[in-house]
Structure 1
Amino acid sequence: MKNKRRKLGLIGLSIMGLVLIAADHIDAPSSRGTTADIADLYAFEPSEGSDNTVFAVDLQSDILPELAYGTFDETVLTEINIDTDGDLVEDLVIQAIPRNGNMYFFGPVAPLETGLRSQVLVDSPLGNVEISGTTAIIETTSEGVSLFAGPRQDPFFFDFFQFNAVAGGMAPEGFKTPEEASDAFDGTNTMSIVMEIPNSLLGTPTGTNILGIPVYKVWVTTNKKQ
């Protein structure tokens, strides 16, 4: 697998309740309009004191709801990379790849190789779930891992047109207030991959954030088969 896209904005995953978000939408011409295009990565504790962590990856933003079903590309491998020792190299990976209407998950385990290339870790299955349509389907494994894949309303709020006007020097008044701004992504979907995983499967984080909370360093990539 190669041609990896990387989302580096989310560098800390708190296991103590802090939510950190990275966002980017419709940015890469080579992947725009496909599920190789990464929109958002969310990582958070589902409730205070929980021993689990939720990872949510949103792909292919700005999808009209009636077109958002069954659009996962079977040639695209989505990979959550976790750095547990602070060297910014993935020590664990969690993979997701669609096949015949299902999303298959692998990991979290050490990758066979790091960097720009990835291989599907078929010897480390985590579970699978039917890709949802109009009704959400969640699968929970015997290890307490919950899995979901399918369309979800885009939670990202962004005044795309005003941003372009400001960037192009056409809006000397600058950005609008929250009350005046228009959400360009309102009413659109992303294709989401969501998993809730016991922290016991992720190991112990070695770093802390500015609040002194233990964190992993996390980023998401997509690889397209050549």
Structure 2
Amino acid sequence: MKNKTLLTGLGILALVATLLVAADHIDAPHSMGTSADIADFYAFEPTVGSDNTVFAVDLQSNVLPDLAYGTFDENILTEINIDTDGDLVEDLVIQAIPRDGKMYFFGSVAPSSTGLNGMVMVNSPLGSVDISTDTAIVETTEDGVSLFAGPRQDAFFFDFFQFNAVIGGMAPEGFKPAGDPDSTDDDDTTAVDTFDGANTMSIVVELPNTILGETTAMNALGLSVYKTWVTTNAKQ
């Protein structure tokens, strides 16, 4: 695999403590419906007090069960950017790019350049995994890094139709949020997950914090965190 110059297509930001989520579903016209379209980004400890961090990137959020699964575009590089000193400039990068049915991961290392342009860091391999189809495949390396790439059910809960009704001033009388003890499954005033059963194309990395190193970045609560965001980069 040769180094390739890439151009950022879309990015989203999340600050990591225990679990923080950013959502950005199908609203980028030039990337909508492709694996360049970032839907959600999750970063969290797999268990409380764990010495590992999980990064989960959901792409192409409109993959429905009755349609063919999408595929990862081989011209798209996904980058997980990690800020360790609080200046919102990436100090470390984890990269993922597909080739011939496998997802290849690189990092976590300092990028050769920050901002919009990036290079595939072929000299810093993290591991690879077969892209899953019907059965989930997880590869764990000798360094304790677990990798996954493939379709997963969309974890984002959103009542799209009630949202449109609310912002249009047409919410039904007595509307109850999901989980309301007075709501019932057949109550048309109860929130429902419009995208239940829909899928995304997901990239997941779990790795020891020793690979990420120390962080001095702080969140609003004064907790030490990794500040992290995702970009999808298209080959020039």
Offset from partner CA, 1:68-102 (integer Å, 9 cap, x none): 54611111111000001111100100000111100
Q: Percent identity?
A: 71
> Structure 1 residue 215 and structure 2 residue 225: aligned?
yes
Structure 1, 164-173 or 30-39: larger mean CA deviation? 164-173
- Per the TM alignment, residue 48 of structure 1 is displaced from its structure 2 partner at its CA by 2.1
- Gaps of at least 5 residues in structure 1 are none
**Which TM-score applies when normalising by structure 2?**
0.88
Equivalence for 1:95: 95
Residue type matched to 1:79 in 2? Answer: E
Change over 3 Å in CA distance of 1:2–1:174 after alignment to 2 = farther
- CA distance in 2: counterparts of 1:174 and 1:22, whole angstroms: 29
TM-score, normalization: structure 1?
0.91
Give how far 1:54 is off: 0.5
Q: Please say if residues 8 and 231 of structure 2, whose CA atoms lie closer than 8 Å, have aligned partners that are also in contact.
A: no
Aligned CA RMSD, in angstroms, stands at 1.8
Q: Where does residue 9 of structure 2 map in the other structure?
A: 4
Tell me by how many angstroms 1:117 deviates. 1.1
Call closer, same or farther: CA 1:174–1:114 in 2, change over 3 Å: farther
Q: Secondary structure at the match of 1:113?
A: coil
- Look up the equivalent residue of 1:76 and give its one-letter code: I
Contact kept in structure 1, 2:51 and 2:209, CA below 8 Å:
yes
Deviations 1:167-189 (A, max 9, x none): 34444869752251121110110
* Structure 1 residue 66 displacement after superposition: 4.6
CA distance in 2, matches of 1:194, 1:47: 16
Task: Check conservation: 1:23, 1:41, Cα contact below 8 A.
Answer: yes
Deviation at 1:27, TM superposition (A): 1.2
Cα distance in 2 for partners of 1:175, 1:194 equals 36
**Any gaps of 5 or more consecutive residues in structure 2?**
1-5, 184-189
| Aligned partner letter, 2:120 | V
Q: Which moved more, 1:173-182 or 1:101-110?
A: 173-182
SS for the counterpart of 2:225 is strand
Pair 1:91–1:99, CA change in 2 (3 A): same
Structure 1 residues 174 and 127, CA, compared in 2 at 3 Å: closer, same or farther? farther
Whether 1:13 and 2:16 are equivalent positions in the alignment is yes
CA distance in 1, matches of 2:171, 2:28: 25
Task: Report if aligned partners of 1:68, 1:190 keep a CA contact under 8 Å in 2.
Answer: no
| Residues in 1 aligned to 2:117 and 2:176: alpha-carbon distance in whole angstroms | 42
Contact persistence 1:166–1:174 (CA under 8 A): no
* Equivalent position of 2:192 in the other structure: 182
Whole-angstrom distance in 1 between the partners of 2:167 and 2:38? 22
Question: Shift in Å at residue 13 of structure 1?
Answer: 1.6
Q: Paired residue for 1:112?
A: 112
1:161-180 alignment to 2 at 5 Å? Answer: 161-171=161-171, 176-178=176-178, 179=183, 180=190
Q: Deviations over 1:88-122 (max 9, x none)?
A: 10010000011110000000111111111111111
Q: Distance in 1 between matches of 2:66 and 2:103?
A: 20
Distance 2:74 2:176 in 1: 40
Amino acid corresponding to residue 201 of structure 2 in structure 1? M
Moved more, 78-87 or 175-184: 175-184
